[in-house]
């Protein structure tokens, strides 16, 4: 039996409904061949119709593949590369002076003026667009917009209900 730690927060999920958990405990989770550690939050039985909801804190610890065949969670592939020798990549150093291709028929005095103008140029903000948007709310109903398409995972959940 795990010790249930008290918790002073509210969980929100589908429909943005808030749920106050009874507490949480740290536990090991095993899904098929995938194992991980996670904080497990406990809620009352009448709060949700599902036995378990797996959150992002668990899904991010493994490699989650969602396709038409279902959902598979696997261990993340750890890449270990053997290196025979270490080498330093060459670093190119460019001079601070910028060489401009102004043209061969332009006198040097004008080339110098153009080059100095470009090097000394500092952009200044010249125009602004001060726009304000006032939304007048005429009722106490929340403003929301239904999404055009549900994500794949939520389509399955809506079919189950």
pTM of the model: 0.43
Round to whole Å and give the CA distance between 58 and 37: 8
Rounded to 5 degrees, what are φ and ψ at 97? -80, 135
Round to whole Å and give the CA distance between 131 and 104: 48
Q: Is the pLDDT of residue 87 over 70?
A: no
**Paired residues of 43 in beta bridges:** none
Residue 26: name the closest of 10, 47, 42 by CA: 42
Q: Is 58 exposed, middle or buried (0-12, 13-18, 19+ CB in 10 A)?
A: buried
Per-residue pLDDT tens digits for 103-145: 778 888 888 888 888 888 887 877 778 888 887 878 887 777 6
Per-residue pLDDT tens digits for 29-65: 888 888 888 888 888 888 888 888 888 888 888 888 8
Q: Residue 156: how many CB atoms within 10 A of its CB?
A: 13
Q: What is the residue extent of each domain of the chain?
A: 23-75
């Amino acid at each position: 039996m795990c010790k249930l730690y008290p918790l002073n927060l509210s969980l929100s999920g589908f429909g943005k409904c808030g749920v106050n958990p009874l507490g949480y405990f740290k536990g090991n989770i095993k899904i098929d061949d995938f194992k991980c550690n996670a904080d497990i939050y406990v809620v009352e039985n009448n709060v949700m119709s599902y036995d378990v909801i797996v959150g992002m804190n668990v899904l991010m610890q493994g490699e989650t593949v969602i396709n038409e065949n279902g959902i598979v969670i696997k261990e993340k592939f750890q890449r270990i590369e053997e290196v025979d020798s270490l080498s330093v990549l060459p670093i190119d150093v460019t001079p601070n002076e910028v060489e401009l291709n102004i043209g061969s028929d332009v006198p040097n005095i004008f080339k110098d003026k153009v080059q100095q103008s470009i090097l000394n140029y500092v952009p200044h903000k010249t125009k602004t667009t001060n726009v304000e948007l006032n939304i007048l709310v005429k009722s106490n109903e929340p403003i929301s917009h239904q999404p055009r398409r549900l994500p794949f995972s939520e389509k399955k959940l809506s079919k189950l209900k």
